[in-house]
Amino acid sequence: MAKSVADVMKLVQENECKFVDFRFTDTRGKEQHVSVPVSHFDEDKFSDGHAFDGSSIAGWKGIEASDMLLMPDPATAHIDPFYEESTLVLSCDVLEPGDGKAYERDPRSLARRAEAYLKASGIGDTAFFGPEPEFFVFDNVRWSTEPGHSFYHIEEYEAPWNSGAKLEGGNRGHRPTTKGGYFPVAPVDSTHDMRAEMALVLEAMGIPVEVFHHEVAGAGQMELGTKFSTLVERADWTQRLKHVVWNVADRYGKTATFMPKPYHGDNGSGMHVHQSIWKGGKNLFAGNGYAGLSDTALFYIGGIIKHARALNAITNPTTNSYKRLVPHFEAPVKLAYSSRNRSASIRIPHVMSDKARRIEARFPDPMANPYLCFSALLMAGLDGIENKIHPGEAASKDLYHLPPEEDKLVPTVCHSLDQALEELDKDRAFLTRGGVFTDSMLDAYIELKMSEVNRIRVQVNPAEYDMYYSL
């Protein structure tokens, strides 16, 4: 991986690059890009930046103040493995051209502010994150949202509903059952080679892969586990992982999605987020308390639980997210913590070393913008540490199957995006400390996301015909 401007220029020369791709992430978490021929790329780009029109990015600038700058980060330089012509990729921060300051709504710049706030707080100097984004891969997908014609249709050889289908080339019969994808060998698991290629591409791009496997849902759900890193770098890697998943799947003639719930009746996709705070090379989450945790770690958990409903607007930022977070469907909706207990929304993984001591938030999903998601979780945890918010007793029971009188005593995450946005609007002070998030950014975020809520509100669902047409 290149670490300096000189390294980048050497990388360009050694790989005979013909183009340079400047990439940044918008509010919704989608990576955007603009390319220049290598003849228009030199060392000055790292000080002058590259101009672009910010008014075309949803939730950003108005047309009257649209000029913005992309400032490439040399530490992110890598060669894109999918373009036909050799192309160097650089992740960028977004700056205001007038004063050169970071744009307050740029997710990557915001994540940098979160890291700076941690150091300024004196609590720690490094926050490590390890997300586990799950995803589905299908053979084909179609949908329509026309006023008189609304549907989605998934075609996937592995889908359990295909056991009786007559398929071109024959139906070989070996496929996962509903909730049976974790994790039989081939030929039931038919996508190993594709995941292996994804893993090799990620490793070649400098992202260490620790594990890959089929996930629980039958119709092509899977996961690539990659190594933890610091907040901004780990968010960069998450964006890169999505790019690799989409493009390798495409090369296999398939289509990948990170939607939490692309179809009902089977497990949805989450993004469990492992977290720890360090200072001076020491893991502050290791201690002599419950499951080997320190008071610092317990207070961090307390902060996440306290602010979980506001966090939902960022960690679970789509209407589809709440198709996964439904009580009594083995979803991590219960705001409790426990060692090894996967029914709690915060789990303490069993580890052999204090260096690996960490907590795992299980309610986020892969629709989350990783820069905003990790920053928000960190800010909630730091609020818990600063205010010594204890999370109470750990959960020892299966929270999915509690008696009704006990079930109602355990708080839950939000049940819808509009509820989460209301909670975020009310509970935002922990995010705006140190100017990490700003009120202006949060107002724009809520407005952007409410437009999604309202679109779904007016959309007629085919299930409503099933329930109401003949009443």
Residues with a catalytic annotation lie at: 53, 132, 134, 215, 223, 272, 342, 360, 362
Q: How many CB atoms lie within 10 A of CB 48?
A: 11
77: tokens are 């330089």
Distance CA 224, CA 198 (A): 8
From start to end of 76-234, where are the E strands? Answer: 78-79, 87-95, 126-138, 140-146, 149-155, 209-214, 221-226, 229-230
Separation between Cα atoms, residue 463 and residue 14, nearest integer Å: 57
Give the residue from 192, 230, 232 showing the smallest Cα distance to 369: 232
**CA-CA-CA-CA torsion sign (417, 418, 420, 421):** positive
Please report where in the chains the tokens 């179609």 appear, as a residue. 142
E-assigned strands of 48-97?
50-53, 67-72, 78-79, 87-95
Measured CA to CA, the distance from residue 249 to residue 201 in angstroms comes to: 12
Q: Is-contact 127 118, C-beta < 8 A?
A: yes
Burial 216-225 (b: 16+ CB within 10 A, else e): bbbbbbbbbe
Q: Which two tokens stand for residue 127?
A: 């926050």
52-73 as b/e, with b when 16 or more CB fall inside 10 Å?
Answer: bebeebebbbeeeeeebbbbbb
Inter-residue contact 462 to 150 (CB < 8 Å) = yes
Question: Quick one: which H or E segment has residue 338?
Answer: strand 337-339
